[in-house]
Chains A and B, each alone.
Chain A
Amino acid sequence: MTSVSTSRPAVADAPAPAVPRSPRLSRRHREWIAAALFLAPDALGLLVFVAVPMVLSVVLGFFQVSGFGSYRWIGLGNYRRMMNDPLFWDSMRITGLYVVILVPVLFCVSLGLGLLAKQKLPGIGVFRTALFMPYVISLVVVGLLWKFLLDDQVGAVNRAMRSAGFGAHSWLGDPHLALGSVIAITVWVMMGYYMIIFLAGLQEIPAEYYEAARIDGAGPWRSFRSITWPLLRPTSFFVLLMSTVAALTGGLDMIFVLTGGGPANGTSLAIFYIYQQAFVFGEFGYASAMGSFLVLIMVIVSAVIFALTRGGRFDDGE
């Protein structure tokens, strides 16, 4: 603001620099040119590094790509191979399990934390800060840290379990437990982020509604059911969609550090399997085909969520 007022006299003295620069162009055309120049860097960058790769990933699915960069058209060959690849379907099953457990748990935990964070309690600011802290740590550090804490023999978790009389478990080494451990750690990382989003949604709900409900004799559960839940729909939709998409294609960094896909491929999420095929075995074409399939699943799931929640709109009928 201050720079405006200080620069104004200087600009006014000069005979309106923008006008004489291109006397033949109309104001409208100058605006077009300005817009094109303003947009050029980002438009070009997004085209080259986002849009082209997106299209390319579909196209590559029909090619066999060698490590040295030669491409051979093989039609649906990669997709036929995918259909008959038990490891891929295993990874899809694990991804499905991961999404189906992670998303509802994360949703409920974050909503609960959001409800708690909304309360005017002493020290609630410290609470919000504490719960958000894991989110700013990189997934590599998160992976290393939990590998340390969940160590079979010397990890703090097993030491605590043993002294509490529950006995130790191989949290990351037991195929039945490893995926659950990964999910729990993901909840720990992400809950603060979605807590803030829920908190923002909760703060949008006018306090008078709760006051009126209380006067009408509604208990806490009733006012949650009739006020909070319906008015929180847009936020719930957003959280559901975001966390599902993130769960379907995310988690690569952490799996890489924490389990390397093991034990017995028990945490080999589809995105990890795809990564391995591409960058360990150099199967870029095959990996792209599986990636496109994963995107297709993502689109379908998003559409289903959209339809089921009516895009997060408020109920019209009631």
Chain B
Amino acid sequence: MASETATATATEPRQAVPGGRGRGGRLRGGRIGLVVLAAVLAVLAVLPLLYMVTGSLKTRDQVTDGKLIPHHVTWHNYQYVFTQVPFTRYLLNSFFISAVVTIAALFFHSMAAYALARLRFPGRDVLFGAIFATLLVTAPVVLIPLFLVARQLHLLDSYAGLIIPAIFNAFGIFLLRQFYLGLPRELEEAAVIDGCGYWRVYWSVVLPLSRPILAALAVFFFLANWNAFVWPLVATNNPDLTVVQLGISAFQSQYTSNWNYILAAATVAAIPMLVLFFAFQRQIVESIKTSGLK
């Protein structure tokens, strides 16, 4: 089914590309077909999420009726989730950890990227190559040794253990370096002539210029950390440190078939990311485009 859709879209659009604004009936018909196809696919993609949200507004006996629109809207499930488990605590934990990781990561990565893009020092290319190589190390693969390192450093079961290992990631350094290589040197040189030290140039020239990319990366880091599950799962035991993803996963195993509650909990965990996505959609899309091409 999936590949059929793919070939259909792969051939049809060609009609519309060269012709442009619907010359002749055949092309216009093709365009209408494409609009319908796009609309159907968009609805199919979003439908499961709509089921989640509307299911969270249904009562216990209606949640599994298979209908999209609730008969009778109730907010009781949300109330239940927040009173039966410390869900506020989970949300605050996730928010705190994601925010600290994001700020620290942007700060450290932009410093490193500035040095790699602008300062001259021996071994710069080797160092960049080494940092780039760590991009190939995917998180699940180093989960076990990372756990042992964190245990050795007494980072398990602490906020520090949830925050510090999550900061370091070559992806941000790489994207920021690309961005800094594209900045005009003149502004920095003017600052140097005025007697600015490197820190001053970085802080008052480079950082303000990198606002757009920092915003995009901030969204990315926050999203990744809010959605993180496996590391918090292995690195914490203390219920006070439960992050929201861990919270809903545990909630689900406790309330197995009370789908109205589970969906309410899942919606609460998902809504902040959807809001963030709608607010920063353009930045997210732009940063994905740059990461894919360069």
The interface of chain A, by Cβ under 8 A from chain B, is: 1-4, 7-8, 11-12, 14-19, 21, 28, 30-32, 34-36, 38-39, 41-43, 45-46, 48-54, 56-57, 60, 65, 69, 104-105, 108-109, 111-113, 115-116, 118-124, 126-134, 136-141, 144-149, 151, 153-156, 159-160, 184, 187-188, 191-193, 196-197, 199-201, 204, 207, 210-211, 213-214, 219-221, 223-224, 234-235, 238-239, 245-246, 249-250, 252-253, 256-257, 271, 274-275, 278-279, 284, 287-288, 291, 294-295, 298
Contact = CB atoms under 8 A, between A and B. Distances in A.
B129 interface: no
Nearest to A124: B38
Nearest to B32: A121
Nearest to A16: B195
Interface residues of B, number: 117
Contact of B3 (A35, A105, A197): A105
A12 B277 CA distance: 43
B126 interface: no
Contacts of A252: 140, 230
A179 to B, nearest CB: 15
A12 B82 CA distance: 57
B141 A294 contact: yes
In the A-B complex, the 4 residue pairs with the smallest Cβ-Cβ separation, listed nearest first, are A220-B14, A16-B195, A18-B197, A154-B64
B91 to A, nearest CB: 13
Given A132-B277, A220-B17, 15 more contacts: A16-B195, A17-B195, A18-B200, A39-B115, A41-B108, A42-B168, A48-B149, A53-B145, A57-B142, A108-B2, A115-B9, A128-B285, A136-B276, A141-B270, A146-B48
A288 B145 contact: yes
6 contacts: A11-B195, A46-B170, A52-B149, A120-B20, A197-B292, A213-B18
B100 interface: no
Given A238-B292, A291-B141, A109 B5 contact: yes
A50 B194 contact: no
Q: Which one of A54, A57, A148, A274 has the greatest number of beta carbons of chain B within 10 Å?
A: A148
A49 B252 contact: no
B15 interface: yes
Contacts of A224: 10-11, 14
Nearest to B19: A214
B7 A112 contact: yes
Given A4-B208, A108-B3, A220-B12, A140 B269 contact: yes
Contacts of A51: 130, 134
Contact of A54 (B3, B10, B112, B145): B145
